[in-house]
Structure formats: C-alpha cells, structure tokens
Amino acid sequence: MMSPATKIERHDFEFPADTAVLSEIGEIVKKYCIHASISDDDQSCVILAVDEACTNAIKHGLRSNKDKTFHLLIESKPGKILIEIRESGKPFNPTNISNPDLNAGLEERPIGGLGVFLIYELMDRVEYSLTEDGVKVLKMLKGKID
C-alpha cells in the first residue's frame, strides 16, 4: 500500500490567456512543490520558470486573447515536480533561440529570449514539442530525473 507521503498528485488546469491568472498559478505551483518536498530555493526557481513560460504562452502564443485558453498539467511526488504547458497559439519554437549574451550591456542586448534562457537555467530538464495538430507542449522538471 502506498503511503500518503509517496502519493503522486496530478491535476490538469485550464486558464484564459490573461496575465491576471499568473498569481493564482504561482500559488498552485507552490502547493505542488510543497507536496513534492522541493526546497524553498528550488520552489522559487520552479515558480519563476512557470511564470515565464505561462507569460510567454499568454502574451506571445495566444496574444493575450482572453477567449483563448492554455492548459497547465502539474504532477508531483516526493523529490520531483513536472509541469506541462499546452497551448495552440502562434507557432514558436524556443529551441531556436540562442542564449543571450549576459556580458553585453542592456542597451546592446536584443529584446526577448531572456525568459526562455531562464526557464532552461532554472529547471533540471526542459523539453519542447509540437503535436501533429499544432499544440505546443513545454515540459519542465525539477527534481530527480527518472
């Protein structure tokens, strides 16, 4: 029999393409991080990465069209949290973005790309895919890699 401490928590949420939902998403992610016994420092990393990814989905993919939605799937178990974001907005592949030059002055840096860089830096594993029907899927993992 599985003890409550090893129980896998999994939930799928649907949100409108509205940045007003970001604080609610942060609270949800924190709850699942706590369930997974993720350290406070790593919780901050996960929350920031999810915030960046959701902001990108809302603003760039779905163009802040509140009639459109995106899905957030969270799965947690002790030592591990997996977050998946799905949306079918404007096509975009984050793996095509080169890393920003962090040594360049702010005025010399192109606009954009820092959020994607942060997501990859903050999480232990990041995967991007596109389904056959055009849904963009971003998977982010923090914790033990199976």
For 92, phi and psi rounded to 5 degrees?
A: -165, 135
Instruction: List, in order of start, the domains of the chain with CATH numbers.
Output: 4-143 (3.30.565.10)
Instruction: Check pLDDT > 60 for residue 28.
Output: yes
Question: Which residue would you say has higher pLDDT here, 100 or 78?
Answer: 78
**Single-letter code of the amino acid located at 43:** Q
The pLDDT of residue 117: 87
pLDDT in tens, 33-91: 999 999 999 999 999 999 999 999 999 999 999 999 999 999 999 999 999 999 998 87
- State what percent of residues in the chain have pLDDT above 70: 80
Query: Can you give the pLDDT at residue 49?
Result: 97
Strand partners, 42: none
Q: Whole-prediction pTM value? A: 0.85
State the average pLDDT over residues 107-119.
Answer: 70
Residue 102 banded pLDDT, cuts 50, 70, 90 = low
The predicted pLDDT at position 1 comes to 40
pLDDT of amino acid 86: 97
The span from the CA of 45 to the CA of 102, in Å, is 19
109 versus 143: the higher-pLDDT residue is 143
